[in-house]
Amino acid sequence: MITMKIIKSEYDKIKPYITKDGSIIRELIHPNTHGDVKQSLAEAIVPVGSKTLLHRHHNSEEIYYILEGRGLITLGNEKFEVKKGDAIVIPPKTPHKIENIGNVPLKILCCSYPPYSHDDTEIIKP
């Protein structure tokens, strides 16, 4: 028999914080808070007229799912627009940033494996 542990996260009880890249994050699921999970799930918000800093994660693969708004994402040497409903895979070691080019906050669901860590994040100076 498989033993299942139910993990529940209550949005209104999660305190947002600013990551190294400058986005506003709510960690919806993370092993530091929820114990034995192998990935992290967060909501990132990039305010109107803002962008994240160019950065990379040495070990983590990320998946961005755009919940709301429009953005211009840079992945390595490529730049392209993203909008609500788009999903993007960001392989480890790939320099990336995203700019809000819309008129509402850019909301992104971010999945990361291994889980997000400040220590795994390197800001890339221009």
82 lies in which domain range?
A: 17-97
* Domain containing residue 53: CATH number: 2.60.120.10
pLDDT 10s digit of each residue in the chain, 126 long? 666 677 788 899 999 999 888 899 999 999 988 888 899 999 999 999 999 999 999 999 999 999 999 999 999 999 999 999 999 999 999 999 999 999 999 999 999 999 999 899 999 987
Q: Does some domain include residue 88?
A: yes
Q: Does some domain include residue 75?
A: yes
The number of domains in the chain is 1
Q: Does some domain include residue 120?
A: no
Q: Does some domain include residue 109?
A: no
CA distance 4 to 61: 25
* Residues whose CB falls within 8 Å of the CB of residue 78, separated by 6 or more in sequence, listed in order: none
Q: Does some domain include residue 8?
A: no
Phi, psi of 11 (to 5 degrees): -50, -50
Q: Does some domain include residue 69?
A: yes
